[in-house]
Structure 1
């Protein structure tokens, strides 16, 4: 698998396309930093594209381009002009157009990451846009946030609790967060990380690589380390 891979990916809906991963979460939780880390780590073995969402700017896309995590042409920006959840859940046309543009230009791709604009705990992606969803929280909101629930926290395929290095500074108990997240999520996985301390986001990247590896396709390469 990778940029020179010639096989098509056969999705359950009958389309040959990449796995589409939605990344959502509140403002400042570290979504863009996580996307950058995933691009750095997985871009060595997978062919990637990224779509970012901002209401009136292209700030997140510009950050990723400046960081040099992918070829700039593989990063597209959507200016939603409305609440972020609208463009990822209710009216997904602009995001679908951007995803399909990347697939047309650079396909076959292995993975397309769609980053939502900063939203609240209710934010979820339409399954017409994202096949898998990551929801990102950070500890600065306090250890009570996971037990507040909300569709983003409870239904995402993976919950990432970021900025664990700040826990002692804000009085957040990571054990409480883990307990409460498990209570509202059941068997769905939760990962704790600090992208400042681990710029590769290794545990999250491994989860994503395994999802790509298990996505229906003719050949199944070993997941990235």
Structure 2
């Protein structure tokens, strides 16, 4: 049994889950998905603030009828406003990242044209159910975020986000005692459902786990860290 520690990347092997590959002549596209309220936007915000001092990054967010997440990231100062764009999907959010990703692919093209040296492009999906996945045409690496407040049964419910994402993030572990969730059960079920694929317990509110997720992304994309440890101050708002 692995000790449950916020910010500890739990995986069966050093190479498990690192299946991302950088698009030829383009940025490494990281898809961030998960149910409403799980912490997708918080993760995007923390990663931007952690990486922005040393890497060329941008963000595309997806919302059904608004650009609320993009506006939040702009207000929080995650990146310069021109590096954040919102896509209004106008329907089921999973359609715009999987069955018909054309609206997102167009946004990717516009962002790359705007920033030719872009290294990492985060694509945050709208809140959706456990069946949501990113089209490989859109994302090189997928991160799926769930949270403890939904109960310790979530990992064993399965679904593509739980079982096939490159990294599963289990957020809000500080709430476990308040909602009666057993992190040991979530650890056991995550191992069973994901096999060799890695997962991570986090408390993004306190930036715990951000450094590990950033390192995971950089390694998967073959992107140099370039003094990443010096950017910890960048996680602060």
Please report the TM-score for the alignment, with normalisation by the length of structure 1: 0.89
Q: Return the alpha-carbon distance in structure 1 between the equivalents of residues 170 and 218 of structure 2.
A: 19
How far is the alpha carbon of 1:44 from its aligned partner?
A: 1.2
SS in 1 for 2:38: coil
Aligned residue pairs: how many? 209
Unpaired runs of at least 5, structure 1: 1-10
How far is the alpha carbon of 1:224 from its aligned partner?
A: 3.0
Q: Return the alpha-carbon distance in structure 1 between the equivalents of residues 53 and 220 of structure 2.
A: 17
1:70-219 matches, cutoff 5 A: 70-198=79-207, 201-212=210-221, 214=222
* Residue equivalent to 2:13: none
How far is the alpha carbon of 1:143 from its aligned partner?
A: 0.4
Q: Return the alpha-carbon distance in structure 2 between the equivalents of residues 159 and 55 of structure 1.
A: 24
- Residue number among 56, 60, 64 corresponding to 1:47 in the alignment: 56
Unpaired runs of at least 5, structure 2: 1-20, 230-237
Structure possessing the higher relative contact order (Cα contacts under 8 Å, 6 or more residues apart):
2
How far is the alpha carbon of 1:197 from its aligned partner?
A: 1.8
* Residue equivalent to 2:17: none
How far is the alpha carbon of 1:108 from its aligned partner?
A: 1.6
Q: Is the contact made by 1:210 and 1:223 (CA closer than 8 Å) also made in structure 2? A: no
SS in 1 for 2:206: coil
Q: Is the contact made by 2:203 and 2:209 (CA closer than 8 Å) also made in structure 1? A: no
Q: Return the alpha-carbon distance in structure 2 between the equivalents of residues 96 and 223 of structure 1.
A: 31
Cα deviation digits, residues 54-112 of structure 1 (max 9, x gap): 00000000000000010100001000001010000011011011111111111221100
Please report the TM-score for the alignment, with normalisation by the length of structure 2: 0.84
Q: Is the contact made by 2:38 and 2:171 (CA closer than 8 Å) also made in structure 1? A: yes
Structure 1 residue ranges (4+ consecutive) displaced by more than 4 angstroms after TM superposition: 220-223
Task: Kindly report the root-mean-square deviation, in angstroms, between the aligned alpha carbons of the 2 structures.
Answer: 1.6
